[in-house]
Chains A and B, each alone.
Chain A
Amino acid sequence: MTAMTPCGDWRASYAADTTIFPTRNSRIALLLGIVLLCCAPLVFDRYELSLLINIGFLGIAALGLNILVGFTGQISIGHAAFFGLGAFISAYLHERFHVPVLLCIPLAGLGTALIGLVFGAPAARLKGLYLAIATLAAQFILEDFFARAQWFTGGVAGRMTESPVLFGFAFDRDESYFYLTLAWVIIMFVGAANLMRTRDGRALVAVRDHYLSAEMMGINLAYYRTLSFGIASLYAGIGGALYAHYLLFVSVEAFNILFSIQFLGMVIIGGLGSVMGSLMGAAFMVMLPEVTQWGADLLAGSSIDRALKLGASISFLREMVVGAAIILFLIFEPDGLARRWRLIKAYWKLYPFSH
């Protein structure tokens, strides 16, 4: 599919031809979207804001996984463990060394990236199913470490953390934390979009598409396979740190394999190999239980409700809906929401003459 550009949109320089957002309208739409989001705390209540914040930090972590799975063509079923590692590192750095929380967040990202490089080392040699098993090992090793390393995680009791503070202003309410998350989302997503249009991003995709010829182009396969784990962990760590200082409490058992699978679900639903798709996937995963709940509330008292006992089984129902969504997307829209979004845009571009 060639990029569709509107008639009359001529690029007169290479710089204009390599922008992240190709057309003027898309850039205006983006700015407008950010401005609208900045107004969100004025409109939404705390619960809705907390959903948005969740989408934010989960989206950052999902983007990391997408770089690993979607762009580099590898697999990880231990992403939640790295998310948790970021949360604990950030909380630990703050409590033990009194590092300001705002600095803890990037440091947690770097720390997680380093650990991620270690656990990513098998990727230099392993592929496919075997790599999946190796990352599964990472999941369990880290989970076990969280449970045992009392000094680091607080053990079963978990670890309390504090809100970020900047010049005496505390990001301790949903309204203010929302802006912090938004800023990180923008930084991390712009970073990924930039990465994908430069040397190392192309190298990652080349490794995915045809590793033999990538090697002939001078790409060191082992380096880039491991690096993609490092980058994925960086994103997971920053997402996890944002999670920690939002909830103010990190518990050991949150970062289990189910959470890892959920990350994979976000990436698949959002669109493998799409930067914005990661955010869409995270949004989908956060909103799906809400929609399920809403549907169950709507049916309350009806015959369906009586037959299925929706009220009592809503928590199971949520899990089932997530599973069903992944399966349905794999069958009907393997390229995820990102592709659907492109199709919708293409449809409106040609609107009255869509065929």
Chain B
Amino acid sequence: MAEESPILAVEGVSLRFGGVRALTDVSFTVRPGEIFSIIGPNGAGKTSMVNCVSGRYRPTEGVVRFGGQDITRLGPNRRAGLGIGRTFQNLALFGHMSVLDNIMVGRHHLLKAGFLRGMLYWIGGAQTEELAHRREVEEIIDFLEIQPVRKAIAGTLPYGLRKRVELARAIALKPRLILLDEPMAGMNLEEKEDMARFITDLNEEWGMTVLMIEHDMGVVMDISHRVMVLDFGRKIAEGSPEAVMAHPEVKRAYLGKDLAEPEPAAA
């Protein structure tokens, strides 16, 4: 991959909650068009890192740049317009809305009609706008193969489908960078394979840069271009999946000091 200016640059980010140091001086860059994974044991600070990028948390120190722009202090709702979308580790759908409406909420920053034009609907162009975006949303629905449930209430869907709807909602933002927080958690093998396929398609066909947290090492190693490893809030390794897997610090973090030495291929 050619060296381009990074789409996301995290520089020396630290995050403290009182005495707890969730992140300590983490720096990394995500290049346009890559799938970048963050891995690490439980409590390593992966979600905190993603929250710093998405604006849920403000880093105590350090800078987050998106496309060259400093977004460290930007409100989370302003980041959607810049092109950052995300899914959540624990499902965060709008439970009482239909799947279609959930995805349409993702279009929020692309739609222009305010509440007055919305109330008038036929006059003022709200309908035209709605239908145009509906057409695009239907493409996302086709892509993720959720046509049968588009009118179902999101809260009534089974877990795997809800994860997929959440991905659809994030795609609907038309993000340049999509943050996926454990997209495969709790899925069975078949669902995982589907999800991995969706993520690679997103990356290759839709041209989205992916920043992903995932625990399933098989998936991470298969589809990521680069991997970063966090442990106790510190970055301990970064590089290609193979290089990271062979890194002694990573083995120590995952397997403990004693086990890491004799059996190199265990993780």
Contact = CB atoms under 8 A, between A and B. Distances in A.
Q: Do A and B belong to a common assembly?
A: yes
Interface of A: 1-3, 14-15, 17-18, 191-192, 194-195, 197-203, 205-206, 208-210, 212-221, 227, 231, 273
A192 B119 contact: yes
B77 interface: yes
Contacts of B119: 191-192, 194-195
A195 B115 contact: yes
A335 to B, nearest CB: 11
Contacts of B173: 217-218
Nearest to A221: B77
Given A205-B94, A210-B95, A217-B173, A194 B120 contact: yes
B16 interface: no
Contact of B169 (A15, A209, A217, A273): A217
Interface residues of B, number: 50
Contact of A206 (B94, B115, B117, B153): B94
A194 B94 contact: no
Contact of A2 (B76, B80, B152): B152
Given A216-B54, A220-B77, A2 B127 contact: no
Contacts of B138: 14
B146 to A, nearest CB: 13
Contacts of B69: none
Most B-side CB within 10 Å, residue of A14, A15, A218: A218
Nearest to A218: B80
Given A198-B130, A216-B76, A205 B135 contact: no
Given A18-B131, A194-B119, A206 B97 contact: yes
A203 B56 contact: no
Nearest to A273: B96
A220 B79 CA distance: 11
Nearest to A209: B94
Nearest to B137: A14
26 contacts: A1-B156, A2-B152, A191-B120, A192-B119, A197-B121, A198-B130, A199-B107, A199-B108, A200-B113, A202-B104, A202-B108, A205-B96, A206-B105, A209-B93, A210-B92, A212-B92, A214-B94, A216-B54, A216-B86, A217-B80, A217-B109, A217-B169, A218-B77, A218-B81, A218-B173, A273-B96
